[in-house]
Amino acid sequence: MRSQTYNFCSGPATLPTAVLSKAQAELLDWQKMGVSIMEISHRSPEFTAVAKKAEQSLRQLMSIPDDYAVLFMQGGATQQFSGVPMNFFGLCEGKQAGYVDTGIWSRKALDEAGRYVDARLVASSKDSNYTRLPESWALDEKLAYVHYTPNETIGGVEFPHIPDVGDIPLIADMSSTILSRPIDVSKFALIYAGAQKNIGPAGLTLVIVRRDLLDATPHSALPPTMNYRLFDENDSMLNTPPTFGWYLAWLIFDWLIEAGGLTAMGEVNSRKSARLYNYLDASDVYHNPIHPEARSWMNVPFVLKDESRNAAFLKFAEEHGLLNLKGHRSVGGMRASLYNAMPEAGVDALIDVLTKFAES
């Protein structure tokens, strides 16, 4: 059955079949130990070796500079909406935390930050109904950091390059764009990402942070399980981490390295999305509302010009093995998520089904 489907879920998203097959083969007996990787202590030499290898593979893939800590945490990106301002509370004293608003997720991050620090909008594309990138940015020396969302998973809006904020520390929620192409980590103060798109299963959260920022005085009520410095000091094992997710992330990092790394993935992902956008733009039946300069490689929302046929389309797609194309409950329509584990053949199959349905 699996070989007859393509899964366009926005997250928890499709994972590489090769990785799942390996995990399946060794699920009950890992490395001939007679136990599952899920059943050993996170402090055992066997698991700490996995943990280290995962970090090394990620550092290699993303060319993460040595002065950045890589943390494996829990709670999802949503927990980081609180974690960023709480950890950087001291940085924000007498200053402001700047947020760029490009849609639902960046807005949530702003609203949450305002509970802890003086948070303000520095740019917004709301005027365009979030179909473009923000035009004017209000940057000044009062900003302790600038937070933005490189890819809005729901809106399908993506920054094609890293915004220039000068010397202001730049923080990014990369949940749905991390590992999709090469990224210059040195341009960032902090990157965070929920795992359930390009990294692994839900329940693991990555934080990549420049170590000098760990000296910032945190909010007095910051829970230890959200404290970057404590996680760095304890190799992300302050308490029991989500070991199975960490192991799967390692397998995925190595799958990406074998596939040619992020340069190769970037080329594939660029091709995949371009092919779909080109088809949608040429169509009289379908429509993607996002301005070409802001279109996401990862999440392609689209609507039928005749919206009464949405349900019929989704049913037709499912009958052809194309799963989870329904748009987010807040916007409706359709959405095709094209993360790393979605092969080019999946996009071809989608275009084929779009064509057949248009003709029907």
Q: Where is the binding site for L-glutamate, in residues?
A: 10, 43
- Spot the catalytic one: 32, 66, 118, 173: 173
CB of 64 to its own copies, least distance (A): 24
Query: CB of 280 within 8 A of CB of 288?
Result: yes
Nearer to its own copies, 32 or 161 (CB): 32
Q: Among 275, 281, 286, which Cα is nearest to 342's?
A: 275
**Catalytic residue status for 173:** yes
How many other β-carbons are positioned within 10 Å of the β-carbon of residue 141? Answer: 8
Query: How far apart are CB 143 and its own copies at their closest, in Å?
Result: 22
Which residues are part of a known binding site for pyridoxal 5'-phosphate? 77-78, 105, 153, 173, 196, 239-240
Identity of the residue numbered 243:
T
Comparing CB distances to its own copies, the nearer of 27 and 274 is 27
Would you state the torsion angle of the CA atoms of residues 39, 42, 45, 48, taken in this order, to the nearest 10 degrees?
Answer: 120
CB of 293 to its own copies, least distance (A): 29
CA–CA distances in Å: residue 7 to residues 11, 137, 239, 324, 340: 10, 37, 34, 6, 12
CB of 248 to its own copies, least distance (A): 8
Return binding residues: 10, 43, 77-78, 105, 153, 173, 196, 239-240
Helices 243-258, 45-62: crossing angle, 10 deg rounding: 40
The two tokens of residue 93 are 């004293």
- Measured from the CB atom, the residue of 29 and 307 that comes closer to its own copies is 29
Q: Which strand (E) or helix (H) includes residue 88?
A: none
105 is catalytic: yes
Q: Which of 30, 197, 246, 326 is catalytic?
A: 197
Question: Which of residues 34 and 94 has its CB atom nearest to its own copies in the complex?
Answer: 34
The catalytic position among 30, 52, 66, 105 is 105
Neighbour tally for 142: CB within 10 Å:
12
Helix (H) or strand (E) holding 295: none
Q: How far apart are CA 126 and CA 205, in angstroms?
A: 28
To which H or E segment does residue 139 belong? none
Q: Is 255 a catalytic residue?
A: no
Instruction: List, in sequence order, the alpha helices (H) in the chain.
Output: 17-25, 45-62, 76-87, 104-113, 228-233, 243-258, 261-282, 310-319, 344-359
Q: Kindly state the smallest distance separating residue 156's Cβ from its own copies, in Å.
A: 16
Q: Based on CB atoms, which residue is closest to its own copies, 148 or 244?
A: 244
Output 134 or 327, the one with its CB closest to its own copies: 327
C-alpha torsion sign, points 27, 31, 35, 38: negative
**Nearest approach, Cβ of residue 187 and its own copies (Å):** 27
Q: Which residues are catalytic?
A: 105, 173, 197
